């Protein structure tokens, strides 16, 4: 099977492929960033690597995949990278393999289309407007502030900015647009979802939901807590599952997530969804039709339920039934993910505290993507995540205490 633009440092997709018994052709960027560089020793299950520029030369990339398929037929094509979801869906259709429809692959990538469909389906939707250029900012001035300005097809919170009053709206819209020009190619010819969304700020807790679908049936595996980020920029900090939830909130989350799969047309494969509360009501922020967190959602799901989340992702992509599909989801542990905080900007001299954390028996794995010598640009620019601490716990409270301790001990030092 072909795996598109998977960061080699994030091992869960590769390990899932191995468990599902498939060989992987890793399709990678011709010029990878430091946090995506190919190691000398290939990750598990990878039998071959193929550099393809899927955004700059889509036609060439599709032709290369067709040639690959001719040599040794692909059983599936998969990605965990949100921006590569439409390309991957197109490649799967071209080869007659299971995958998302074109419509669905756009609806999960373009936040304007996503909002439109959720609203039409009667799901919870904050007041919002779509902007096709920075000069359109005035159409957002009637929303109730605070609002959030974000790229229509962005990722990892790039450019996402809170605005507290109508007076600051124009300045923020223009600066978010500039970030989009620099990092998403706005104003260029090959950009797919050029535009912004402005929507009301949802002030409640944030949650992440990991689900699998198979033949139209949705199975929610975990609902995890993501903190209560207040902005103006939204750096991710923690992820712990299963989150303690009141029955009202849990019901609202299940209803919105199930409804969103139907509204967006996601019938097969994994989804990684983010939502926030307003009171006890859950509002979807986005649904990615892929394994979340570059594959790390597997760590969360597996720690909580024991399910083979990435393995099942490959099984579904090959048209097979996930393992234990008819068994209920059973929560038997707590999974946690800590995002090493950037805490500044400049050239990194040291990331302190990670080797100490690695010695903790609750720590399953540490992934370090940036190293001394690499550069972190100041917010709202994007340099990639420095690293993560993955752990397992007997209780949610223990995971919370562990994360509080990491807040004290893990620090990036800059030149």
Binding site for ligand ADP (CB under 6 A): 126, 148, 150, 154-158, 160, 199, 201-202, 206, 229, 234, 274, 276, 285-286
Restricting to residues 246-265, name those near Ca ion by CB under 5 A.
none
- Position of minimal CB gap to Ca ion: 155
Minimum distance between the CB of residue 102 and ligand ADP, rounded to whole angstroms?
20
Token representation of residue 194: 């050029």
Report how far residue 109's alpha carbon sits from residue 194's, in angstroms, rounded to the nearest whole number.
11
Binding mask 362-401 for Ca ion (x = CB under 5 A): ----------------------------------------
Decide whether 61 or 293 has the Cβ nearer to ligand ADP. 293
Residue 155 backbone zone (phi > 0: left; psi -120 to 50: alpha; other: beta): beta
Nearest residue to ligand ADP on Cβ basis: 234
* Partner whose footprint covers residue 269, from ligand ADP, Ca ion, none (CB < 5 to 8 Å by kind): none
Using rule CB under 5 A, residue 155 touches Ca ion: yes
Residue 155 or 233 having the CB closest to Ca ion: 155
Considering only the stretches 58-66, 141-149, 266-274, 338-346, report the one whose residues sit in contact with Ca ion under the rule CB under 5 A.
266-274
Nearest distance, CB of residue 374 and ligand ADP, angstroms: 22
333 contact partners, CB below 8 Å, separation of at least 6: 303, 304, 392, 393, 394
Binding partner at 414 among Ca ion, ligand ADP, none, C-beta below 5 to 8 Å by kind: none
Taking the least distance from each CB to Ca ion, the nearer of 274 and 374 is: 274
Choose between 69 and 109: whose C-beta lies nearer to ligand ADP. 109
**Which of Ca ion, ligand ADP, none interacts with 206 (beta carbon under 5 to 8 A by kind)?**
ligand ADP
Smallest separation, CB 189 to ligand ADP (Å): 23
Nearer to Ca ion, 8 or 151 (CB): 151
* Residue 203: CB minimum distance to ligand ADP, A: 7
Residue 106 binding target from ligand ADP, Ca ion, none, CB below 5 to 8 Å by type: none
Count of beta carbons in the 10 Å neighbourhood of residue 332: 8
Spell out the SS3 assignment of the chain.
Answer: CEEECCCCCCCHHHHHHHHCCCCEEEEECCCCCHHHCCCCCCCCCEEEEEECCCCCCHHHHHHHHHHHHHHCCCCCEEECCHHHHHHHHHHHHHHCCCCCCHHHHHHCCCHHHHHHHHHHCCCCCCCEEEECCHHHHHHHCCCCCCEEEEECCCCCCCCCEEECCHHHHHHHHHHHHHHHHHHCCCCCCCCCCCCEEEEECCCCCEEEEEEEEECCEEEEEEEEECCCCCCCECCCCEEEECCCCCHHHHHHHHHHHHHHHHHHCCCCEEEEEEEEEECCEEEEEEEECCCCHHHCHHHHHHHHHCCCHHHHHHHHHCCCCCCCCCCCCCCCCEEEEEECCCCCCEEEEEEECHHHHHCCCCEEEEEECCCCCCEECCCCCCCCCCEEEEEEECCHHHHHHHHHHHHHHCEEEEC
Given Ca ion, ligand ADP, none, residue 150, with its beta carbon under 5 to 8 Å by kind, binds ligand ADP
148 binds, among ligand ADP, Ca ion, none (CB under 5 to 8 A by kind): ligand ADP
Q: Closest approach of Cβ 39 to ligand ADP, in Å?
A: 27
Q: Does 233 bind Ca ion (CB under 5 A)?
A: no
Minimum CB distance to ligand ADP, residue 110 (Å): 11
Phi and psi (nearest 5°) for 82?
A: -55, -45
Instruction: Identify residues 119-138 at the interface with Ca ion (CB under 5 A).
Output: none
Q: Using CB distances below 5 to 8 A depending on partner kind, what does residue 110 bind out of ligand ADP, Ca ion, none? A: none
Considering the complex, state which of residue 55 and residue 155 has its C-beta at the smaller distance from ligand ADP: 155
Site for Ca ion in 277-316 (CB under 5 A): 286
Binding residues for Ca ion, rule: CB under 5 A, are 155, 274, 286
């Amino acid at each position: 099977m072909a795996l598109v633009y998977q960061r080699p440092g994030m091992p869960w997709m590769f390990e899932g492929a191995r468990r599902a018994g498939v060989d992987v052709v890793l399709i990678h960027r011709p010029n990878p960033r430091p946090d995506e560089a190919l190691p000398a020793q290939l990750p598990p299950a990878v039998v071959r690597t193929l550099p393809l520029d899927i955004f700059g030369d889509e036609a060439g990339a599709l032709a290369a995949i067709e040639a690959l398929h001719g040599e040794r037929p692909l059983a599936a094509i998969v990605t965990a990278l949100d921006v590569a979801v439409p390309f991957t869906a197109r490649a799967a259709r071209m080869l007659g393999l299971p995958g998302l429809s074109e419509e669905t692959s756009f609806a999960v990538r373009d936040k304007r289309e996503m909002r439109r469909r959720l609203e039409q389906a009667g799901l919870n939707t904050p007041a919002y407007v779509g902007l096709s250029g920075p000069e359109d900012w005035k159409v957002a001035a009637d929303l109730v502030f605070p609002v959030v300005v974000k790229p229509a097809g962005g990722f990892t919170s790039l450019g996402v900015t809170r605005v507290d009053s109508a007076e600051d709206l124009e300045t923020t819209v223009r600066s978010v647009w500039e970030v989009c020009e620099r990092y998403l190619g706005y104003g260029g010819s090959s950009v797919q979802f050029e535009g912004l969304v402005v929507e009301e700020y949802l002030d409640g807790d944030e949650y992440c939901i990991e689900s699998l679908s198979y033949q139209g049936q949705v199975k929610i595996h975990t609902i995890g807590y993501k903190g209560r980020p207040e902005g103006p920029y939204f750096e991710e900090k923690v992820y712990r599952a299963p989150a303690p939830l009141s029955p009202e909130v849990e019901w609202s989350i299940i209803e919105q997530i199930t409804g969103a799969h139907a509204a967006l047309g996601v019938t097969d494969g994994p989804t990684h969804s983010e939502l926030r509360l307003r009171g006890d009501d859950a509002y979807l922020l986005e649904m990615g039709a892929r394994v979340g967190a570059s594959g790390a959602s597997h760590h969360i799901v597996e720690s909580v339920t024991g399910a083979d989340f990435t393995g099942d992702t490959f099984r579904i992509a090959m048209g097979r039934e996930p393992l234990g599909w008819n068994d209920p989801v059973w929560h038997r542990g707590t999974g946690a993910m800590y995002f090493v905080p950037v805490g500044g900007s400049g050239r990194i001299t040291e990331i302190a505290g990670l080797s100490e954390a690695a010695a903790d028996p609750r720590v399953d794995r540490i992934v370090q993507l940036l190293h001394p010598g690499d550069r972190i640009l100041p917010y709202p620019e994007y340099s990639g995540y420095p690293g993560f601490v993955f752990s397992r716990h007997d209780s949610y409270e223990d995971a919370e205490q562990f994360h509080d301790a990491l807040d004290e001990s893990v620090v990036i030092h800059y030149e």
